[in-house]
Amino acid sequence: MSAFETYKVAFIGFGEAASAFAKGFGAGNASKTTAFDIKTEDVDQSIQDSKLADYETASVQGVFSSKLAVTGADVVFSLVTADQANLAADQAVPHLKKGAFFFDCNSCAPDTKRLNARKVEACGARYVDVAIMAPVYPKMHQTPIGISGVHAQDAKVIFDALGMKASIVEGDVGAASSIKMVRSIMMKGLEALFAECVLAGRKAGVEVAVLDSLDKTYPGFDFKEKAAYMLERSMTHGIRRAAELREVAKTVEGLGLSGDMAHATVVWQQRLGELKLKAQTGQNYQERADQILLALQKE
Per-residue pLDDT tens over the stretch 153-182:
999 999 999 999 999 999 999 999 999 999
Same domain flag for 117 and 187:
no
**4 falls in which pLDDT band (50, 70, 90)?**
confident
Same domain flag for 188 and 226:
yes
178 neighbors 110 (Cβ within 8 angstroms): yes
**2 falls in which pLDDT band (50, 70, 90)?**
confident
Same domain flag for 7 and 148:
yes
Same domain flag for 185 and 168:
no
Q: Domain boundary residue among 154, 173, 192?
A: 173
Same domain flag for 225 and 147:
no
Question: How many residues in total does the chain contain?
Answer: 299
Q: What is the pLDDT of residue 212?
A: 98
Domain extent, residue 219, equals 177-297
Which one-letter amino acid corresponds to residue 275? L
Contacts of 200 (CB under 8 A, 6+ apart): none
Same domain flag for 8 and 140:
yes
Same domain flag for 168 and 182:
no
Q: What is the C-alpha separation between 216 and 25, in angstroms, rounded?
A: 42
Same domain flag for 160 and 185:
no
Domain count, the chain: 2
Query: What's 292's domain CATH number?
Result: 1.10.1040.10
Q: Domain boundary residue among 123, 157, 173?
A: 173
Q: For residue 213, what are the CA distances in angstroms to 151, 206, 226, 227?
A: 49, 11, 14, 14
Q: Domain boundary residue among 153, 173, 193?
A: 173
β-strands 9-12, 34-36 pairing: parallel
pTM to 2 decimal places: 0.91
Same domain flag for 141 and 22:
yes
Q: For the segment 60-116, what is each residue's pLDDT rounded down to a tens digit?
A: 999 999 999 999 999 999 999 999 999 999 999 999 999 999 999 999 999 999 999
Q: What is the pLDDT of residue 1?
A: 65
Same domain flag for 151 and 291:
no
Same domain flag for 38 and 140:
yes
